[in-house]
Structure 1
Amino acid sequence: MPVWLIPIAYMMASMLLAGVLPRVEHALVPHVDLGISASSALAALSAVASGMMALTGIVFTVAFVMVQFSAVTYSPRFAARFANDPLLFHALGIFFATFSYALTATAWVDREGTGRVPIVSWLVCVVMLVASLLVFAMLIRRLADLQIGNTLRFLGDRGREIIAEGFSSAYDAPPTHPARAPDAPEGPPTQTLRFGGSPRYVERLDIPALAALARRAGGRVVMGCAVGDMVTSGSVLLRVHGGTAQIPEAELLRAIALGLERTFEQDPKYPLRLLVDIAIKALSPAINDPTTAVQALDQIDDLLRRLARQKLDVGRVRDAEGTLRVVFPTPNWEDYLSLAFDEIRMFGITSIQVLRRLRAALVGLEELIIEDERAGPVRRYIAHIDAAIEGSSLDELDRGSARREDPQGLGLSR
């Protein structure tokens, strides 16, 4: 259910409850006098109804501050985390429900001049008020997520989840087996699927579905877009090679999830992208906060260490017989290095702290994969960093200090 429907659902349920419960209470529950007069009950319900409107305004203010702060301080792409937070919409829903219930329940106080107070309905309103205050306290507590440490840890955790789940299951692809014979050449495409509509981002690929469709058609699906790409009108989504039958376009489109924003799903590059955004924004002259960039590099370092131990080439999917059925683009090791370090190197070239942490991350990666072919690009990147330091505006003493790797940036030379 879309999150914006949550408050409406709460409000409709509360109005239904407020219309049914007093009737049931009036018919089945004997009148209980707890010493609450009709005027007092009416005043209390009215105060709850009016007070909830003010509290709702405060919640909107808190939500606006959270979204604006995250967009300005961290990244506009990170603001969606708070703008689409289910807790925010559940809080608004409970506030709307309390307001609607209290307002509707006033109609049953002193009904027909009997002076009777629907005590059960009145107590339900009190319980809803307490629940609203508890949810409001939880929402204020959520402001702690705006702290830089919590923000970076959240992005790092999402990246670790994607790496652990995505690469272990190879994007939920069916098991791959060595081909029984060399792969047949692709040849000319027998079917081409193009996108038509307003620009969208590729959020997810249903690889098992594409493999099943390719096998049914006796061909091979070659994706023209990767997860995270924007597709515009006329962009090639995929091509089918060697197919003996046409695949319905509707079935192919169902296997490609498109949306208005990039998402974390199936995209290990996206948490890296957000961490780099935070780092380079911290390095801007307007903010000048290299320590935040170093903290972002801590998370980037961990994600790259995990990626270094994964089989990155998961873009060739075979069926149970070993026949190649789906080919889709995936980033290689150098793509990840470039995404993680290039912009931070460019914007942090005058920060000794950032350069030392950057070099420490690369040296640590080289030690981790020293026997692997991926160590070569890491060594070249270390040489690139040293060359950039040599050509920077730093003096000789500062250049010598910047070439000392330090996991803390400015803490321990090692």
Structure 2
Amino acid sequence: MRRVRRGARAAAAGEYLRGALWVLPGTAAALALLAGSLLSEVRIPPESVWYPLAFPGTADDARQVLITIASTIVTVIALVLGLTIVTLQLASTQFSPRLLRNFLRDRPNQVVLATFVATFAYSTAGLYTVRATAGADVPRLAVSGSIALAFLSLGMLVFFIHHIVHSIKIDTIVNSVVEAAVRTARDYTPKSPGVDRTGPVPPPEALALPARRSGYVQTVLPGPLLRTAAGQDAVVVVVPRVGDHVVAGTAPLALAWSRRGGPPGNAPALARALHHAVQIGPERTLQQDVMFGIRQLVDIALRALSPAVNDPYTGVQVLDRLSALLAMLGGRTLGDDVRADRTGVVRVAAAGPAFADCLDLACGQIRRYGAAEPAVCLALLRLLATAAASVTDTRRRAAVADQARLVLADAESRIARPADRAAVRELGARLLTTTAAAPPPAGPHPGREDGRRA
């Protein structure tokens, strides 16, 4: 249990550090101070082949160089931080405030800032190693290192301007979100057989285990619960999905019961194991939350389709990227994460989104906001055609057909001109003919009946 606890905390700490803007600059400053102290002790004799690379000036010249570099870098750092803040503000207002975390986690931005901070720390600390007295021994190699860092910072400034311009392009932003969501799906969902799993249904006598803190469910690691549940011959079902918000002491975080009937024998042990297995934080992350990636893409499309922006083509671009993500999800196993012990008995299940939930999140709001634009309706139908080609499960194909009917119904009522509706009708009819090859299931779609929001 201690190893599991350390592993969960390490994963949470790693996620925080990857999004912290101070980690790389702080580390770079410490390394620069260490390198400066070591180089200041190195003396290069005149006969050395490295002597031409050493700083040739006096102690006064060295101090002036270090002061100039340090003061210049402070100005550059202020410029970089100002450009970063402007970029964050632009991304928040024009695209989505949920994209700010992606910009903070951008590694090139962190590397550029780390280079500037390291140059400033190195140059400032170098003033303590250069004595201003006449005839003092100058740490020439250390001063040369400061000049080299100044040229490196100049190159990084040019790179930063290039990178910041490209980072606010809609294609770059959308592609980065899709890549992160695809990585999450590949890491936490099996590739086959492409169905939606459902966990055991809790009995009425199941014991409710509440959350200890309020926030969003960021990760669920069912492994820590397996041994505890197996030791009590119990079953534990984590109720909220990753990305859902929970309130401490109210709705149950999990339901537990004994396979022999009634509540489990040692509820406090299960509560402790649940606390270590479920990570709750103040915001949603892409650690395990594929739906959050879809949510970010949908937000961008909704901003583009709003009357204030009125940019349908950006909505179409988002739908094109969403189709690639949904095609990948169509071939993977979604739904509840069900874990069994060594004997094959199901012990732990964590609620997860079904394919129909992902499809509804990707299409629902965009359809309602953009149904009056034929280009958006056609892009939605192309997305659904791609999704239909990637799935074989009858429930998933039925979910695709349901979404296609909704698109056609909204297009009929919102698109004014019959000529504009003709292309939508034609593509929709072909899509429904394709999905009709698989009969719809008798029951409701798994994961749709509880009315969860993403």
TM-score range, shorter chain: 0.7 to 0.9
Bigger mean CA deviation after superposition, 77-86 or 45-54: 77-86
Task: Give the length in aligned residue pairs.
Answer: 391
Bigger mean CA deviation after superposition, 315-324 or 47-56: 315-324
From 197, 206, 222, give the equivalent of 1:189.
Answer: 206
Report the equivalent of 1:8. 26
Deviation at 1:272, TM superposition (A): 1.1
Q: Identity of aligned pairs, percent?
A: 25
From 284, 287, 293, give the equivalent of 1:265.
Answer: 287
Report the equivalent of 1:237. 253
Rate the CA distance shift 1:169–1:319 in 2: closer, same or farther, 3 A. Answer: farther
Q: Deviations over 1:288-309 (max 9, x none)?
A: 1111111111111122222222
3-state DSSP class of the match of 1:391? Answer: helix
Rate the CA distance shift 1:138–1:253 in 2: closer, same or farther, 3 A. Answer: farther
Report the equivalent of 1:213. 228
Report the equivalent of 1:134. 155
CA distance in 1, matches of 2:115, 2:277: 37
Alignment of 1:97-108 (within 5 A): 97-108=118-129
Report the equivalent of 1:411. none
CA distance in 2, matches of 1:44, 1:185: 72
Rate the CA distance shift 1:103–1:373 in 2: closer, same or farther, 3 A. Answer: closer
Report the equivalent of 1:223. 238
Q: Residue 220 of structure 1 contacts residue 324 of structure 1 at CA under 8 Å; is this kept in 2?
A: yes
CA distance in 2, matches of 1:353, 1:185: 45
Q: Deviations over 1:12-40 (max 9, x none)?
A: 44334444542x23xx6558786423332
Q: Please list every run of 5 or more consecutive structure 2 residues that lacks an aligned counterpart in the other structure.
A: 1-13, 259-263, 429-454
Deviation at 1:248, TM superposition (A): 5.5
Report the equivalent of 1:165. 187
Q: Deviations over 1:88-129 (max 9, x none)?
A: 334333322211221222233344432432201111111222
Question: Is the counterpart of residue 276 in structure 1 residue 298 in structure 2?
Answer: yes
Deviation at 1:369, TM superposition (A): 4.1
Q: Please list every run of 5 or more consecutive structure 1 residues that lacks an aligned counterpart in the other structure.
A: 171-175, 407-414
Question: Is the counterpart of residue 320 in structure 1 residue 335 in structure 2?
Answer: no
Report the equivalent of 2:427. 405
CA distance in 2, matches of 1:60, 1:211: 47
Question: Is the counterpart of residue 288 in structure 1 residue 310 in structure 2?
Answer: yes
CA distance in 2, matches of 1:399, 1:184: 45
Q: Residue 222 of structure 2 contacts residue 349 of structure 2 at CA under 8 Å; is this kept in 1?
A: no
Q: Residue 411 of structure 2 contacts residue 421 of structure 2 at CA under 8 Å; is this kept in 1?
A: yes
CA distance in 1, matches of 2:185, 2:179: 10
Rate the CA distance shift 1:49–1:355 in 2: closer, same or farther, 3 A. Answer: same
Rate the CA distance shift 1:29–1:250 in 2: closer, same or farther, 3 A. Answer: farther
CA distance in 2, matches of 1:212, 1:370: 35
Q: Residue 67 of structure 1 contacts residue 80 of structure 1 at CA under 8 Å; is this kept in 2?
A: no
3-state DSSP class of the match of 2:29? Answer: helix
Letter in structure 2 aligned against 1:240: A
Letter in structure 2 aligned against 1:308: G
CA distance in 1, matches of 2:158, 2:111: 13
Report the equivalent of 1:310. 332
3-state DSSP class of the match of 2:427? Answer: coil
Q: Residue 60 of structure 2 contacts residue 132 of structure 2 at CA under 8 Å; is this kept in 1?
A: no
Report the equivalent of 1:81. 102
Letter in structure 2 aligned against 1:239: L
Bigger mean CA deviation after superposition, 357-366 or 199-208: 357-366
Deviation at 1:187, TM superposition (A): 5.5
CA distance in 1, matches of 2:389, 2:130: 76
Deviation at 1:284, TM superposition (A): 0.5
3-state DSSP class of the match of 2:147? Answer: helix
Report the equivalent of 1:119. 140
Q: Deviations over 1:359-399 (max 9, x none)?
A: 22223433554773322222222222222122225122222
CA distance in 2, matches of 1:96, 1:311: 46
Q: Deviations over 1:121-150 (max 9, x none)?
A: 111111222232333333333221221112
Q: Residue 358 of structure 1 contacts residue 405 of structure 1 at CA under 8 Å; is this kept in 2?
A: no
Deviation at 1:238, TM superposition (A): 1.4
Letter in structure 2 aligned against 1:399: R
Q: Residue 371 of structure 2 contacts residue 407 of structure 2 at CA under 8 Å; is this kept in 1?
A: no
Q: Residue 191 of structure 2 contacts residue 331 of structure 2 at CA under 8 Å; is this kept in 1?
A: no
What RMSD in Å do the two structures reach over aligned CA positions?
A: 2.7
CA distance in 1, matches of 2:243, 2:150: 44
Rate the CA distance shift 1:350–1:41 in 2: closer, same or farther, 3 A. Answer: same
3-state DSSP class of the match of 1:321? Answer: coil
Deviation at 1:279, TM superposition (A): 0.8
Bigger mean CA deviation after superposition, 300-309 or 88-97: 88-97
Could you state the TM-score of these two structures normalised by the residue count of structure 1? 0.85
Rate the CA distance shift 1:117–1:319 in 2: closer, same or farther, 3 A. Answer: same
Question: Is the counterpart of residue 341 in structure 1 residue 363 in structure 2?
Answer: yes
Bigger mean CA deviation after superposition, 124-133 or 243-252: 243-252
3-state DSSP class of the match of 1:237? Answer: strand
Rate the CA distance shift 1:241–1:137 in 2: closer, same or farther, 3 A. Answer: farther
Report the equivalent of 1:354. 376
Rate the CA distance shift 1:365–1:87 in 2: closer, same or farther, 3 A. Answer: closer
From 92, 95, 117, give the equivalent of 2:113.
Answer: 92
Bigger mean CA deviation after superposition, 97-106 or 371-380: 371-380
Deviation at 1:84, TM superposition (A): 3.4
CA distance in 2, matches of 1:169, 1:230: 28
Bigger mean CA deviation after superposition, 3-12 or 341-350: 3-12
Deviation at 1:227, TM superposition (A): 0.4
3-state DSSP class of the match of 1:316? Answer: strand
CA distance in 2, matches of 1:17, 1:357: 56
